[in-house]
Structure 1
Amino acid sequence: MRILLSTYGSRGDVEPLVGLAVALQSLGAGAVVSAPPEPEFEELLARAGVESAPAFMSVRQWIDEARRDPKPIPALAARMVPAQYDSLYAASEGCDAIVATGLFPSAAAARNVADKRGLRYEQAVFCPISLPSHHHKPFPRPGRPLPPEVTDTRALWDLNLEVMNDLFGEATNAARAAVGLPVLDNVRDHVFTDRPLLAVDPVLWPWEPTDLSETIQTGAWILPDTRPLPADLEAFLEAGPAPVYVGFGSIALPSTREAARIAIEAARADSRRVVLAQGWVEAEPLDDGDDVFLTGDVNQQSLFPRMAAVVHHGGAGTTTTAARAGAPQVIVPQIVDQPFWAARVAGLGVGVAHDGATPTLESLSAALATALSPEVGARAAAIAPTIRADGAMIAARMLLDEL
């Protein structure tokens, strides 16, 4: 049995698939992960002992080109779908199934490959708001805000179907026609399927049953990390009280760079040291004080339990890791699902949702003070043991049983 796991996106899209691949391999199945050819992703796959099959191009290169030469989403999709199809068609040789996630055009390409080869196809998502439900609204696509006069969630999901077809239907169907597949009237539901996998912890965000989607919630797909922390980081941690972690992962925006700078100031104002994650925001020139330790990719599963608080962007992976560690969180959300994760963390009482992507020293200091309060710390510590770590194994067993 061999399964292709496909994504196109950031570290938060790639690492869960690697976790699923490791679980599949432990059960005797073969697994290959197709991800953007970034050095850090290749290193991650090699460290986990998982075979890789690079996606059609680097995601950083894709972002850079899109910034230099902006194009509407349908035009970008028209480029991505056929290019990713070619990469995935080659990678799927000898596979029995495809599991896809990441950007919709990449998942559409994976579905096209599965249809062409006659393989089983599964769609996975790492945030519930991507999936139709009468319990929540769809998140608005760029340039397509939700009409304020429409309040019925079912009507909004009907509009979402039209938006997804407008944005991605032409590209998906052109690629299908080019390889002899029938065109689709409904690309969203064909790609998402009527029974998608929701790789989200049920404590952090429980899925409520709905007749709009037969979603299966497996729990978060967590890749175990046993790496020791670097010696110089260990020395920094041992040299004083618990620091505040500041990091914005793969979100490389001017707003995240400024938020990181302000977070350092807010921590200092409270006499806190800082562990600053470099990430994609290129944090190195931000601060050279001896109360700030700049780190690259480290074991967050070991680091976060030793933090006084974790200030981050609100990606699903970082949110889950911090929650498992029992670390109070301050989320400064930037894009897509991050405001929703911020709201979940605040609603659970394990952290604070900053209002907006561009904090001031005053606003972030207030958020950090709340996160560092005894009440939030106690709640975070109480929630931590309830966060499951076996979601990848649950999904792996389910996939293999069905195949």
Structure 2
Amino acid sequence: MRVLLSTIGTRGEVQPMVALAVELRALGHEARLCVPPDFREWIERLGFPVVPIGPELRAVASAAPRVQAPPTPEQRRRMIEGTIAVQFATIPAAAEGCDVIVGGGAMSMAARSVAEQLGIGYVYVSYCPVTLPSSHHAPVPVWGQGPADATAGNRALWAEDARRWNGTVGAALNAHRASAGLAPVTDTRRHMFTDRPWLAADPALGPWPEPADIDVVQTGAWILPERRPLPPELEKFLDDGEPPIYVGFGSIRAPEGIAAAVTDAARALGRRVVVLRGWAGLSPADDGPGCLAIDEADQRALFPRVAAVVHHGGAGTTTAAALAGTPQVVLPQHYDQHYWARRVGELGIGTAHPPAAPTAESLTTALSQVLGPGVAARAGAVAREVRTDGAAAAARRLVAMGAEGTLRG
């Protein structure tokens, strides 16, 4: 079986797809990826063919002002039109000879239409429960609207969300579908998500709520099985003292001065600190002792060796820290990160920073809370519940569906 794994997003969307590719290859099947060009070199080193789609996201993120006004409806419309156009222009060739397209994340707006155009199978995957419709939670704000009106009721909010999808995405999607000889869709969100979406989130960390409103296949988080060695400089730093505090915001913008604030908070608690520069270009306030800035590190290798993880609340980072049994301080910025921050608190494996801008004082308080023995013990207990076979389970399921002929439709 040949599988195209397609997503438009940052590493949080791409890395799970790579994990699935690794597991498909282990079963003797072929996987290729259609992802932003930022990740091409890394993925090709792993031995998978890559078709780049869209612009380099890191360059776009780096050029954007740190404080951005939300896009206007017209700007959002143009962005959506461009995203859909580039998917219709790129994915058909990327999927040539494939049996199924796996579309990852909410920006994969045209993947199912391309699968329909080619007459092949399609699976949609989400990485967080609250991005899929359920009466148990409100939609995540993605169209520039404010926080959900708690008095409206979740069913009404999801109905409004469906109308926003139709109003924002429907016209552009259907115009391209018409050009491809496909009938229009009347429910854009349902068409994209399908009647049985997959949820690549760990059941202990992000369970699909019951009783279920829609049929969701929860596979577990898609985690890369390989562990890369840590850079020698980082290994030496870890060996030279007590476990440090880690701070990193991956491939998203970070609060102003966050690295310096965490460094000051760590020093106030007698701790060292490791700063992941990431796409935000984080750097400590100084080159003083007990502080190391790094460009990249395998989280699964690093997190078991740090005292606490300060991060943005991405699904991948939250899962990696939970799997390591390491307490977390989460500073959510947008989308599903607020959900993961809340779950960290509910599970007792860390805390969410208050919405106010972080300071050395507020981070000292948060770190003091999570560095106590109670949180560490709870984090260790939850770590034993976190599954590592989600990508393997998804690969087996995909292969079985292909053998049964149940991928199409």
Please indicate the TM-score interval, normalised by the length of the shorter structure. over 0.9
CA displacement, residues 381-403 of structure 1 (integer Å, 9 cap, x when unaligned) = 11112110000010011111011
Asked if the contact 2:91–2:114 (Cα under 8 Å) also holds between the matched residues in 1, the reply is: yes
CA displacement, residues 266-303 of structure 1 (integer Å, 9 cap, x when unaligned) = 11111110011010111246432231111111111111
Specify the alignment match of 1:54 in structure 2: 52
Asked if the contact 1:5–1:34 (Cα under 8 Å) also holds between the matched residues in 2, the reply is: yes
Q: Give the Cα separation in 2 of the matches to 1:241 and 1:66.
A: 37
Q: Give the Cα separation in 1 of the matches to 2:143 and 2:336.
A: 13
Q: Give the Cα separation in 2 of the matches to 1:339 and 1:306.
A: 26
Task: Please tell me the residue identity of whatever aligns with 1:378.
Answer: A
Cα 1:42–1:363 change in 2 (3 A) is same
Q: Give the Cα separation in 1 of the matches to 2:190 and 2:356.
A: 31
Specify the alignment match of 2:77 in structure 1: 74
Asked if the contact 1:334–1:356 (Cα under 8 Å) also holds between the matched residues in 2, the reply is: no
For the residue of structure 2 that corresponds to 1:138, the secondary structure is coil
Task: Please tell me the residue identity of whatever aligns with 2:390.
Answer: G
Q: Give the Cα separation in 2 of the matches to 1:286 and 1:350.
A: 28
Is 1:101 the counterpart of 2:104 in the alignment?
A: yes
Q: Give the Cα separation in 2 of the matches to 1:9 and 1:310.
A: 23
Alignment of 1:104-253 (within 5 A): 104=107, 107-145=108-146, 148=149, 150-210=151-211, 212-253=213-254
CA offset at residue 357 of structure 1? 6.2
C-alpha RMSD of the superposition: 1.9
Asked if the contact 1:99–1:123 (Cα under 8 Å) also holds between the matched residues in 2, the reply is: yes
Q: Give the Cα separation in 1 of the matches to 2:391 and 2:52.
A: 22
For the residue of structure 1 that corresponds to 2:384, the secondary structure is helix
Q: Give the Cα separation in 2 of the matches to 1:161 and 1:214.
A: 18
CA offset at residue 103 of structure 1? 3.9
Q: Give the Cα separation in 1 of the matches to 2:64 and 2:83.
A: 12
Task: Please tell me the residue identity of whatever aligns with 2:54.
Answer: F
CA displacement, residues 195-223 of structure 1 (integer Å, 9 cap, x when unaligned) = 00000000001112355321110000001
Q: Give the Cα separation in 2 of the matches to 1:46 and 1:21.
A: 12
Q: Give the Cα separation in 2 of the matches to 1:147 and 1:371.
A: 30
Q: Give the Cα separation in 2 of the matches to 1:308 and 1:146.
A: 34
- TM-score scaled by structure 1? 0.94
Specify the alignment match of 1:271 in structure 2: 270
CA offset at residue 245 of structure 1? 0.5
For the residue of structure 2 that corresponds to 1:53, the secondary structure is strand
CA offset at residue 368 of structure 1? 0.6
Q: Give the Cα separation in 2 of the matches to 1:247 and 1:95.
A: 37
Unaligned runs of 5+ in 2: 403-409
Asked if the contact 2:58–2:279 (Cα under 8 Å) also holds between the matched residues in 1, the reply is: no
Specify the alignment match of 1:376 in structure 2: 375
For the residue of structure 2 that corresponds to 1:386, the secondary structure is coil
Q: Taking every aligned residue pair, what percent have the same amino acid on both sides?
A: 47
Q: Give the Cα separation in 2 of the matches to 1:369 and 1:274.
A: 15
Asked if the contact 1:17–1:221 (Cα under 8 Å) also holds between the matched residues in 2, the reply is: yes
Specify the alignment match of 2:17 in structure 1: 17
Unaligned runs of 5+ in 1: none
- TM-score scaled by structure 2? 0.93
Cα 1:268–1:66 change in 2 (3 A) is closer
Cα 1:190–1:306 change in 2 (3 A) is same
Aligned residue pairs: how many? Answer: 397
